[in-house]
């Protein structure tokens, strides 16, 4: 069993060498049932089905920044609840948007405002395991904000971002597969 795991980890390293190969590895890993310890770590806040009575239509995403939770409304008084990382003080916001785009292994170009605060950041990063947007990203309207994966699972449940909502790569991939472009996103403080 140890030998099989070592082999799988070695295969993961080889596949991660290219953008497309890393996307295939993520999908294959999930299909094979390997847990998050193989990719980015487990969320400190497990995903779970919860009682969530609301007037929102099934498929609506409701983000509660105070709780640091994202709810995907299922209907029948139920929702799928995910742990998220939120904006730090001064970077939290609220509003109503729609998912305007979905990307697998998105590229990242830090906005000017972020580069002004953090000139040490790269000007551009291709998608992949080292990219701070993680495995998937859901873009929110015409804003600079996204719901995206993270290669830092320890930040889930924390207020550390510049306004985006972070999820583990496993959780954002699960959400990505459940929603479509046009999905309503309601952000509450």
Return the pLDDT at 113. Answer: 87
For 6, other C-beta atoms within 10 Å of its C-beta total: 10
Question: Domain residue spans in the chain?
Answer: 2-38, 48-188
Run of H or E residues at 102: strand 95-104
For domain 48-188, say whether CATH 2.40.440.10 is its number: yes
For residue 39, what pLDDT is reported? 53
**pLDDT of residue 56 exceeding 90:** yes
153 neighbors 42 (Cβ within 8 angstroms): yes
Q: Cα separation of 169 and 131, whole Å?
A: 11
Which residues are identified as catalytic?
148, 164
Over residues 67-72, mean pLDDT: 98
Residue corresponding to tokens 């939770």: 69
For residues 62 and 23, which has the higher predicted lDDT (pLDDT)?
62
Pairing mode, if any, of strands 61-64 and 184-188? parallel
Instruction: Give the count of alpha carbons within 13 A of 187, CB side only.
Output: 21
- Report yes or no: 116 and 135 within 8 Å, Cβ to Cβ: no
Residue 140: which pLDDT band, with cuts at 50, 70 and 90? very high
Q: Return the H-helix or E-strand segment holding 83.
A: strand 78-83
- Burial of residue 168 (CB within 10 Å: 0-12, 13-18, 19+) is buried
Q: Tell me the average pLDDT across 70-75.
A: 96
pLDDT of residue 37: 41
Confidence of residue 6 (pLDDT cuts 50, 70, 90): very low
pLDDT above 70: percentage of residues in the chain: 78
Res. 40 pLDDT band, cuts 50 70 90: low
**Rounded Cα–Cα distance for residues 25 and 189 (Å):** 36
CA dist 102 and 39 (Å) reads 21
Chain segment 143-169, per-residue pLDDT in tens:
989 999 998 999 999 999 999 999 999
8 Å CB contact between 65 and 79: no
Residue the block writes with tokens 């699960």: 174
Is residue 27 predicted with pLDDT exceeding 80? no
Instruction: Provide the pLDDT confidence category of residue 30 given band limits of 50, 70 and 90.
Output: very low
Q: What is the pLDDT of residues 105-127, one digit of tens each?
A: 999 888 888 888 888 988 888 99
Which has the minimum average pLDDT: 48-62, 79-93, 121-135, 169-183?
A: 121-135
Instruction: Please name the residues in contact with 11: beta carbons below 8 A apart, sequence gap of 6 or more.
Output: 25
Per the model's pLDDT, the better-predicted residue between 176 and 6 turns out to be: 176
- What's the whole-number average pLDDT of the chain? 83
What predicted TM-score, i.e. pTM, was given to this entire model? 0.77
Task: Decide: helix, strand or coil at residue 108.
Answer: strand
């Amino acid at each position: 069993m140890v030998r099989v795991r070592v082999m799988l980890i070695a295969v993961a390293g080889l596949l991660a060498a290219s953008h497309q190969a890393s996307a295939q590895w993520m999908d294959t890993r999930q299909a094979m049932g390997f847990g998050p310890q193989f990719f980015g770590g487990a969320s400190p806040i497990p995903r779970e089905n919860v009682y969530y009575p609301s007037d929102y239509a099934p498929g609506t995403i409701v983000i509660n920044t105070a709780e640091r939770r994202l709810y995907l409304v299922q209907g029948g008084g139920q929702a799928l609840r995910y742990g998220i990382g939120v904006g730090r003080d001064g970077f939290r916001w609220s509003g109503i948007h729609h998912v305007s785009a979905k990307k697998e292994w998105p590229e990242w170009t830090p906005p000017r405002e972020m580069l002004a605060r953090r000139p040490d950041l790269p000007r551009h990063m291709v998608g992949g395991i080292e990219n701070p947007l993680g495995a998937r990203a859901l873009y929110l309207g015409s804003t600079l904000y996204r719901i995206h994966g993270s290669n830092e699972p320890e930040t889930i449940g924390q207020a550390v971002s510049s306004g985006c909502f972070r999820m583990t790569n496993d959780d954002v991939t699960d959400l990505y597969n459940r929603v479509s472009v046009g999905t309503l996103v309601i952000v509450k403080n």
